[in-house]
Structure 1
């Protein structure tokens, strides 16, 4: 990368400006990375780059002060934006395609004296590209294209040469436009949200953009807010819903000295957190990794098809030379050279893959690269982390066991009255149950929320306590042994217990359970039908709630509970050693080792940032049916690629025979070849998966 590249604004109006720089014409520059690098900025709406002219057009919110930041980024592009080992170029645009088509159409009507110079001038870029390719890479498709043009010019068949050039330009444009469409969607899906956070600055709380946070900032997090940084709690206590981070369905207690990770939700309480890991550089590195996986990688099938295509080019060239040696006909040789297996074989794969990624993204499934798509179509074993994937990670009240002379409704009304203004997930479950029964809640006073323990309140001047056994028995000294037998039975069913006391005595035991996703059962059946022959559930929770969930899902073949993150990764490794191809579905930081070690890592929509980074597939909608859709698209893509390959081989082999035997002319040969290529591309571009059936 050049030092301090000159980037100049050449045109500007409110909300839109164009910049130019020689660095933008660098063949090693990755346009997709650069446009995403700028589009990731808040207030930027659209970025368009033209490497041919070395310019970038940026559209942004005219009321936002974002231009300086854009210019700083363009003048300091990271090394990841340059790929010297894989130069890229922008393909022909629609104007070029139209120009070449028009030039071919008018060629027969030009004076004969002008047709030659006109056609030679049009062919120079193709001829130079073919010569350069021959010297640097050997016999490739560019050499065939140049040979056909050269032979047509040598035979003074100028219309044929120019028509072939127009057809090649059209084929290249179709590939470029299809790829660009899919890439634009991916970049939009990866655009980060412009989050804001509260920090202490000079003794006061101020609201800033998340990318302005600095290491060492004191970040303030209150009820209902997401923790925006990785940091150390320096004061305050809170109950944190860390389901997406730890995989635990119950909230965790955060207090001074405890490290917290971004993504956790403050259910109750308030924290002052010293930021340890912040900055737009970390965010941009994550975006860069996403883009690198999504836009730069090739699947094994694509590498294989490229290798096959390259090997067939010398075959075509050799047949053309053989035909000329046997017949002495340059026309037949040119007809043979106009037929190239590699066009359809090479182009169909990226078009089908990008189109599949595009339609998957439109339907809420982000596939981070061609390898993820290919692997998803071939895996046979699917592993689920329980919490947040097969279950919602939300609690619902399932049992009320009143003591003394209380009724269930009386107990529920008392508990809901005490919990009414408590933001804890347990409180929400109790209130939801009371509302469903249309219960009138008693007036309360002197409410005291004890973080991560429970709530104390006065109802009709009587003290009501609702919370954990630890809170009721150890903190308040109220015995709970009288319900031990019932408590054990409820725990055996995988339920969380809630105790309630009134005026110093235990009056009720309640039970709650994490809710199974309504679509989980049908999704597992559909996944089995799609070819997964082994479904596994893993969890860090205790065995009782895990097996209670498993009892509701008859399609599971294997269940493990009480696991640490490294245990999950070991199970993935063991299944792979058995010869299985494994996909893992998770959403927490604790799932990252397993997501990385699986053949395909799949993250739920509300997954932690680290899990989203580690996964190759992200379900953008909070619905397991996205798995079925992703599997369908992956397998449908494999079928499309198989059909495209053998169609290309069959059609082009037939054309070679016809061209070699003189049955078709050079123009007809080129027209049929390019028509078949475009047809195969159109077939590949229609690859959408069986969406309608799955979404019904």
Structure 2
């Protein structure tokens, strides 16, 4: 029965409309006796799906709008108002039809994402190429992607190079050049060139699949306003029934009471908030911003304080070794090889930078033994029988390694030019210093300026890096405050203090060593190209393109979404009050009132649809001609 009604609901609506037109035509032609039959039949046909939904809601102990309409239609039939009963049921179903069609457009961003999902893959079997459904790809398979082809799973390039359009994942339309050892993601498109890749994540584990899952979950989640309106509707509907009874008892006018019942339906009020939520989240997905639900959007719009990690957030997170300063009898290549071997166990940006640099110099790294990572400071390991300690000043002090005056002076001089210095000691003696530099993101000044204009009161940087490098970043970006040489737990403490002082805090980090602070903040925001697993799980907002301008867009979008939601609530409440006043004054009748009621539902949906095309106001290109090199050790 349910499937039948849902399947033929549009046909029922159309048949009801045709019967109403026939009824009016018969009246014009003078066949008065047949008019009532046509209108009664139109009412009875159209009321079936309405009664069915009302019954299902009552079984769930909910008082729905359909229940009010059902009661009103029964009353209208009782007092022989067949024109109004037929017009009300038809308008209600027709409104449902338009509402469903329009709501589909608010989910267009998600639907376009789903349409981008790859369906096939080319697997390499020696020199043979076999086309298989994407579901059959397994981890470790070698895949070939030709020009114009979609990358079917996440993996790493082992042959070839290509310009890859990653808009499906990052929201960025400009193709990224990818070659040997670069990561590629499911759903992205090879614009030029070809690649062979090894599958690392398949099925529901791919980044693209997780994006779709997160957006679907977010669009189904509810904000505080939505939950309040749902609860309000459960009380409002029976209250309107009671008020209608009072109106009838007071006026003895059944027609007026029935009209009051229908006109007071809170349709636009109930749908106004969720449709704004769905459209806003869909817009975010379109621009590579994953906002995890209506409540996150609500909280984000109230943020007045931004807290940033440095490496990989305010800076590009792609540091390079700029200098190796030798202090003891060891030569440069030996120091680099030993340090890189020890850093193989490190997940930190700077440790991996040293490993990468050693490989670029043609050096082989050995497997470290007795390795120990000291969180926020560095690491210790034994390499080729020699004990190596690499990290910051605090680790040297904890390990009893002396930093002489000359080494300290050299380190400070490097830090003041924007480098991070990694101290390396061999067998208890300081052997050398690695200078590593990062660069501030080109879009950082423009993004931070936009967010200040949109209501951010203070911007603070919390970093594990040394104070000289932190000061250089803070001064260049005009930050309100910075705190350096912090451990992850120190960052958590600072965030909690800001919250205790009344600030609504958004914390942005790389989603790995900043996960505790991200989880503590009112809004946790992760930046990480391709969306690492931990960033997607920990953060409330994920920026897929790893760009601060996406942060600015997300913040502007949250404010626009909440404004839109408030506008919809105002439209709905205003229309209800207008109609009820008109009913009580006798100027609004059942059919005309129902028409205005349905129009108000469409008005709030169309208003919400404006969010689909929302884009923050462009305030310039954000040129950034004087980049400074800036690095970090324990960010």
Normalised to the residue count of structure 2, the TM-score between the two structures is 0.65
Q: Residues 289 and 428 of structure 1: is their aligned pair in 2 closer, same or farther, counting only changes over 3 Å?
A: closer
Secondary structure in 1 aligned to 2:438?
A: strand
Superposed CA deviations along residues 162-207 of structure 1, whole A, max 9, x for unmatched, are 32223222433344344444445236548778999999x99xxx99
Moved more, 378-387 or 106-115: 106-115
Secondary structure in 2 aligned to 1:366?
A: strand
What's the RMSD between the two structures over aligned residues?
A: 4.8
Residue 505 of structure 2 corresponds to which residue in structure 1? 582
**Quick one: distance in 2 between partners of 1:560 and 1:207?**
53
Superposed CA deviations along residues 382-407 of structure 1, whole A, max 9, x for unmatched, are 22221111111124688999xxxxxx
Tell me the CA shift for residue 107 of structure 1.
Answer: 3.9
1:534 counterpart (458, 467, 475): 458
Secondary structure in 2 aligned to 1:383?
A: strand
Q: Residues 648 and 629 of structure 1: is their aligned pair in 2 closer, same or farther, counting only changes over 3 Å?
A: same
Q: Residues 366 and 180 of structure 1: is their aligned pair in 2 closer, same or farther, counting only changes over 3 Å?
A: farther
C-alpha contact 2:17 2:42 (8 A) present in aligned 1: no
- Gaps of at least 5 residues in structure 1 are 1-24, 28-51, 54-88, 220-226, 231-261, 265-274, 402-423, 431-445, 454-469, 500-507
Residue 386 of structure 1 corresponds to which residue in structure 2? 310
**Quick one: distance in 1 between partners of 2:482 and 2:588?**
62
Residue 50 of structure 2 corresponds to which residue in structure 1? 126
Residue 108 of structure 1 corresponds to which residue in structure 2? 24
Tell me the CA shift for residue 279 of structure 1.
Answer: 6.8
Tell me the CA shift for residue 666 of structure 1.
Answer: 1.1
Superposed CA deviations along residues 579-623 of structure 1, whole A, max 9, x for unmatched, are 332222122322333333322222225142211232222223332
Tell me the CA shift for residue 343 of structure 1.
Answer: 0.8
**Residue 600 in structure 1 maps to residue 516 in structure 2:** no
Secondary structure in 2 aligned to 1:585?
A: strand
Superposed CA deviations along residues 461-508 of structure 1, whole A, max 9, x for unmatched, are xxxxxxxxx99xx99xxxx99984444301343315699xxxxxxxx9
Superposed CA deviations along residues 400-444 of structure 1, whole A, max 9, x for unmatched, are 99xxxxxxxxxxxxxxxxxxxxxx9689999xxxxxxxxxxxxxx
**Residue 670 in structure 1 maps to residue 584 in structure 2:** no
Q: 1:542-553 maps to which residues of 2 (within 5 A)?
A: 542-553=466-477
1:449 counterpart (342, 363, 377): 363
Superposed CA deviations along residues 223-262 of structure 1, whole A, max 9, x for unmatched, are xxxx9799xxxxxxxxxxxxxxxxxxxxxxxxxxxxxxx9
**Quick one: distance in 1 between partners of 2:306 and 2:256?**
55
**Residue 554 in structure 1 maps to residue 478 in structure 2:** yes
Q: Residues 661 and 390 of structure 1: is their aligned pair in 2 closer, same or farther, counting only changes over 3 Å?
A: same
**Quick one: distance in 2 between partners of 1:549 and 1:399?**
20
**Residue 680 in structure 1 maps to residue 604 in structure 2:** yes
Residue 311 of structure 1 corresponds to which residue in structure 2? 235
Secondary structure in 2 aligned to 1:687?
A: helix
Residue 68 of structure 2 corresponds to which residue in structure 1? 144
Secondary structure in 1 aligned to 2:439?
A: strand
Q: Residues 553 and 638 of structure 1: is their aligned pair in 2 closer, same or farther, counting only changes over 3 Å?
A: same
Moved more, 540-549 or 370-379: 540-549
Tell me the CA shift for residue 360 of structure 1.
Answer: 2.6
**Residue 694 in structure 1 maps to residue 614 in structure 2:** no
Residue 170 of structure 2 corresponds to which residue in structure 1? none
C-alpha contact 2:509 2:526 (8 A) present in aligned 1: yes
Residue 572 of structure 1 corresponds to which residue in structure 2? 495
Tell me the CA shift for residue 153 of structure 1.
Answer: 2.4
Secondary structure in 2 aligned to 1:338?
A: helix
1:632 counterpart (544, 547, 556): 556
2:267 counterpart (340, 343, 349): 343
Secondary structure in 1 aligned to 2:306?
A: strand
Q: Residues 323 and 133 of structure 1: is their aligned pair in 2 closer, same or farther, counting only changes over 3 Å?
A: same
Q: Which has the higher contact order (CA 8 A, sep 6+)?
A: 2
C-alpha contact 1:374 1:638 (8 A) present in aligned 2: yes
Q: 1:184-333 maps to which residues of 2 (within 5 A)?
A: 185-186=109-110, 189=113, 213=138, 280=203, 290=214, 293-333=217-257
2:280 counterpart (348, 356, 373): 356
Q: Residues 692 and 598 of structure 1: is their aligned pair in 2 closer, same or farther, counting only changes over 3 Å?
A: closer
Secondary structure in 2 aligned to 1:583?
A: strand
C-alpha contact 2:512 2:535 (8 A) present in aligned 1: yes
2:84 counterpart (160, 173, 178): 160
C-alpha contact 1:356 1:688 (8 A) present in aligned 2: yes
Q: Residues 510 and 582 of structure 1: is their aligned pair in 2 closer, same or farther, counting only changes over 3 Å?
A: closer
Tell me the CA shift for residue 280 of structure 1.
Answer: 4.5
C-alpha contact 1:632 1:689 (8 A) present in aligned 2: no
1:613 counterpart (515, 537, 540): 537
